[in-house]
Structure formats: structure tokens, C-alpha cells
Amino acid sequence: MALPDSVTRAEDGATVAARTGEVFLRSMKHWRFDYREMQTTKAGVACIPWEKVDATFLDEAIFEALGFSYSVANEEAAIRIAMQGCKDMKAHYKLTNCACEVVLIDDAVGVVVPDNVVSQF
């Protein structure tokens, strides 16, 4: 029995979200930071160019702008600090083709993949 399209999209969305988290971790390592070793409560935010996200991007790319926080009092503050870091880096590099979005909260994937991106997979 085949799964309904909505279930398949949800599973595909979760897979793309997890792989987006891997891109974030790879991007952090590019800048010589190991997010996994940072103390909780932490957050990771990346400027995601959704129109460029495909299998090759997920396998090879790094995010051009990101922000992170760690050892923060609560989740809301961790996200706010990481978001500001991403926005500052986006402005510094004058990026216009991406949006800063939460990717990781502690070690859990928090990114929501747009349906039009999921449908490409």
C-alpha cells in the first residue's frame, strides 16, 4: 500500500531538514568551530538560499552566513543571539539570496523546509 503524498512529503521534509543540519555542521567546521562540542543551551542559524538547495548543495555546500550561540541561559536567548550573528554576517557579506533561519536548537534539527523545496526531492 502506497503512503499518501502528505506523508511522503513529511518524510522527505524531515530528511532534507536533517541534511540541512549536516550542511550547518560542515559550515561550522569550515570556520573551525565544532558545534557538537559546544555546551548547551545552544542554537545554530544559517542564511539558507532555498532556491539553490538540491542534492548537490546538501552534499557539498557550506552556508555563506551563519550564527551560533552556546552556554546560554535559555533557548529563546540562544536563538536570538544566533539569529543576530547570522544577520550580521549576511549584512557584512551583502548577501541577498538567502534568509537566516534556525537550523539547530541544541542538537535537534529545527529548520522547516519549504514545500516547494521538498517537492524537488
Find residue 62's DSSP bridge partners: none
Q: State the pLDDT confidence band at 11, using cuts at 50, 70 and 90.
A: low
> What's the pLDDT at 32?
97
Domain count along the chain: 1
- pTM of the shown model: 0.89
Question: Residue 96 pLDDT more than 50?
Answer: yes
Q: What is the extent of the structural domain holding 96? A: 5-118
Task: In whole angstroms, give the CA distance from residue 24 to residue 28.
Answer: 6
- Helix, strand or coil, per DSSP, at residue 120: coil
Whether residue 7 has pLDDT greater than 80: no
| Residue (of 32, 33, 26) closest to 59 by Cα position | 26
